Structure 1
Amino acid sequence: NLHDYAHDKRRTTDDYPFGGEAGMVMKCEPVFELVEKLQSERPYDEIIYTSPDGIRYDQHEANRLSTLENIIILCGHYKGIDHRIREHLITREISIGDYVLTGGELAACIIADSVVRLVPGAIGDEASALTDCFQDNLLAPPVYTRPAEFRGWRVPDVLLSGNFGEIEKWQEEQAWERTKRLRPDLLE
């Protein structure tokens, strides 16, 4: 808890910004003290700050983060964090989109969930995570399950054929087609 690292009577972790701007800003002292305590216990590969100013988070970044041993995710709140934290402590800033949330906690949860599912043993079928959307900048192909026909809608015959070469070819074609139609920006 960040308040445990604030040593004034009220355990203050934020204060008004210099310059008269509206809002509250997270203070340097408790953030630095907390992170330095964590760093004294183990090394960290990244100290991430969730911010609309950061790089746009995507599957490639999730893949990269999943290869790291330890990361800290610092969630901004209020107006943000004292800029000295960004300059001297944060190693990477990540944005989950071009909008502002009340705090960085949801962004941190999204990052954590997308990274953890890539860690071996986290999900039952590890191959499933490696064939998800965006692993190769394509959307996933359509998936189907039983029954083979429902209300007159049939599963594509190729998926029932047992010909894995043809199935793979169909899946790749579908992934390209869906990406071109739904998310052409991924192909740029």
Structure 2
Amino acid sequence: MITLPPFRRPFTHGPAPCLTARLRRSSAPKPVGAVFASFPDWAHEHPLTRDNPALSELISRTAIFIYGLAVTPHRRRQGIARALLTASEEKASSTGYRLATLIHGPELSPFYQRLGYTSADHVTIPMPHAALGVTQPPPFMTAVKALHPGVRIRTVPGAPGPVVTGLLPGWDIPATARFEDGELIA
């Protein structure tokens, strides 16, 4: 885990895991894969967080974004990407992160779904007084995975995609919640 001192945006700050995979049986192991994560851009750039530094910081400490996952072409389909992603999730969870997010092309949906992610064009995160929506431009998708038992990825009637509840205490919705005309009715 790399921890950088705080810098003014657009520089990153806080915990930023960068993990590499190397083959053990090699006498001079070179990296065959890597994963990099940090806080999600929407924690600072979404209209609900842009002018609210406390909320932005709070989300930055609870949601981690996988920015890059790569394996050299001749080492793919050997479980390296799975191992890197799992190790990143475990490190994030052990340091208090409650949600993992990433962006991917639709062809990778089955891979991420096998690892416990839910993929969609749009993901909603309810907060105490509003709902934060994360939408990717086509053809990209957002994938989310709960890293804490209090976080749930739910289907809510009328919602444009999955709804992440429990990211923080009080950020939940009742079982009767629904969406009407793009608004969350709790």
Q: TM-score, normalised by structure 2?
A: 0.26
1 or 2 for the larger relative contact order (CA 8 Å, sep ≥6)?
A: 1
Task: Looking at secondary structure, tell me which structure has more helix per residue.
Answer: 1
Task: Looking at secondary structure, tell me which structure has more strand per residue.
Answer: 2
